[in-house]
């Protein structure tokens, strides 16, 4: 205060006017604020990138951890750190952050109302990533579509169907529908219904079916296979067959056994009936 008083009374000091000194002081203060802001931004950027890398590396070192979840958490942490960094920068210039937060909140509300559909997909994407009902590589059926999961982003889930055609499903439809995941359990139970004629020897038919299926290396002896007569149809006696196998071979295994059992029943002289109709021509 004493220095300012001398300057105001003398107006000349070292050949400079008071306005010159005030201008120089303002420029020095502004330059210091700008340099401080740049330094804070640089430190925040470096720190956020380091934290993101460390979180991602944590999942890489532990293979039982889900990479997708940790990549999502790493991105969230980076945005949080950068958000606090921007707040510090604004404080450096004397901006009241409470007002900025209020403005951002109001803008966010308006944007949220305008983008309800998109935000619902994002919210569903967050739920899919956090709770992980499906993972990349799983064979699933969602929203009436069946295929292998290739990517799960915040907005959509990408799959490749059985014909290797790309299928894009919005996350809101994935999370909001029944999800059937065929890859969760390592074992699956294959099921068939084989019909034989009423004149066939049921014991022989059961033996042929059992021997044919259990001769395949993909068939599991435990849990014990189920092979029983469960229905007397209009033209056939139906055997219900349930055998466990590895989930990875389920579809090929089921198709192969259908053909092999049919050929074995033919070779064993077991009749496999099919519906017939006699057409009488009206005179």
Task: Assign residue 62 the CATH number of its domain.
Answer: 1.10.287.1260
Residue at 219 is within a domain = yes
Is residue 115 helix, strand or coil?
coil
173: CATH: 2.30.30.60
29 and 53 assigned to the same domain: yes
Q: Which own/partner pairs from 197-200 qualify as long-range (CB within 8 Å, at least 24 positions apart)?
A: 197/235, 197/236, 197/237, 197/270, 197/271, 197/272, 197/273, 198/235, 198/236, 198/237, 198/273, 199/271, 200/237, 200/270, 200/271
74 and 145 assigned to the same domain: no
Residue at 121 is within a domain = no
Residue at 23 is within a domain = yes
Q: Among 114, 148, 169, which residue terminates a domain?
A: 114
Domain of 140 in residue numbering reads as 133-181
Instruction: Give the residue carrying structure tokens 């005030």.
Output: 22
149 and 210 assigned to the same domain: no
18 and 96 assigned to the same domain: yes
215 and 255 assigned to the same domain: yes
Query: Is 259 a residue whose pLDDT tops 90?
Result: yes
DSSP 98: H
Residue at 276 is within a domain = no
Is residue 281 helix, strand or coil?
coil
> Which residues are within 8 A (CB) of 176 and not within 5 positions of it... i.e. 6 or more apart?
124
The average confidence (pLDDT) of the chain is 80
pLDDT, position 109: 59
175 and 198 assigned to the same domain: no
158 and 191 assigned to the same domain: no
Instruction: Give residue-wise pLDDT tens across range 192-227.
Output: 999 999 999 999 999 999 999 999 999 999 999 999
48 and 143 assigned to the same domain: no
51 and 139 assigned to the same domain: no
Residue at 59 is within a domain = yes
pLDDT, position 61: 72
Residue at 98 is within a domain = yes
Q: Which of 212, 247, 243, 203 is closest to 226 using CA atoms?
A: 243
- Residue bearing the bigger pLDDT, 109 or 152: 152
Residue range 73-84: mean pLDDT, rounded: 80
For the chain, how many structural domains are there in total?
A: 3
Residue at 123 is within a domain = no
pLDDT, position 213: 96
Terminal CA-CA length for the chain: 126
What band does 118 get if pLDDT is binned at 50, 70 and 90?
Answer: confident
7 and 104 assigned to the same domain: yes
pTM comes to 0.61
Residue at 277 is within a domain = no
pLDDT, position 98: 67
172 and 207 assigned to the same domain: no
Exposure string of 93-114, with b = 16+ CB inside 10 Å and e = fewer, is eeeeeeeeeeeeeeeeeeeeee
- Give the C-alpha distances (Å, rounded to integers) separating 186 from 140, 142, 180, 181, 244: 14, 20, 14, 11, 11
255: CATH: 3.30.70.100
Cβ atoms of 266 and 210 within 8 Å: the answer is no
249 and 212 assigned to the same domain: yes
Helices 67-92 and 116-131 meet at what angle, rounded to 10? 120
Query: Is 16 a residue whose pLDDT tops 90?
Result: no
Query: Is 267 a residue whose pLDDT tops 70?
Result: yes
């Amino acid at each position: 205060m004493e220095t300012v008083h001398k300057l105001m009374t003398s107006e000349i000091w070292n050949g400079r006017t008071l306005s010159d000194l005030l201008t120089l002081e303002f420029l020095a203060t502004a330059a210091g604020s700008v340099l401080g802001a740049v330094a804070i931004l640089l430190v925040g950027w470096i720190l956020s990138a380091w934290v993101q890398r460390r979180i991602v590396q944590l999942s890489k070192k532990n293979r039982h951890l889900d990479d997708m979840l940790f990549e999502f958490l790493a991105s969230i942490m980076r945005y949080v750190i950068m958000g606090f960094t921007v707040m510090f920068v604004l404080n450096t210039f004397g901006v009241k952050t409470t007002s900025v937060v209020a403005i951002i909140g109001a803008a966010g509300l308006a944007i949220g109302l305008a983008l309800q559909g998109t935000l619902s997909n994002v919210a569903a994407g967050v739920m899919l990533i956090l709770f992980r009902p499906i993972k990349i590589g799983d064979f699933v059926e969602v929203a009436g579509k069946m295929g292998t999961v290739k990517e799960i982003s915040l907005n959509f889930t990408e799959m490749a169907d059985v014909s290797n055609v790309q299928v894009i499903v919005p996350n809101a439809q994935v999370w909001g529908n029944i999800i059937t995941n065929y890859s969760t359990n390592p074992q699956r139970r294959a099921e068939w219904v084989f019909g034989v004629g009423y004149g066939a020897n049921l014991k022989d038919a059961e033996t042929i079916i059992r021997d044919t299926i259990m001769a395949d290396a993909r068939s599991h002896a435990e849990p014990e296979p189920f092979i029983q007569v469960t229905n007397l149809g209009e033209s056939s006696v139906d055997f219900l067959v349930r055998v466990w196998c590895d989930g990875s071979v389920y579809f090929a295994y089921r198709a192969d056994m259908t053909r092999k059992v049919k050929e074995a029943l033919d070779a064993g002289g077991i009749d496999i009936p099919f519906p017939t109709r006699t057409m009488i021509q009206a005179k």
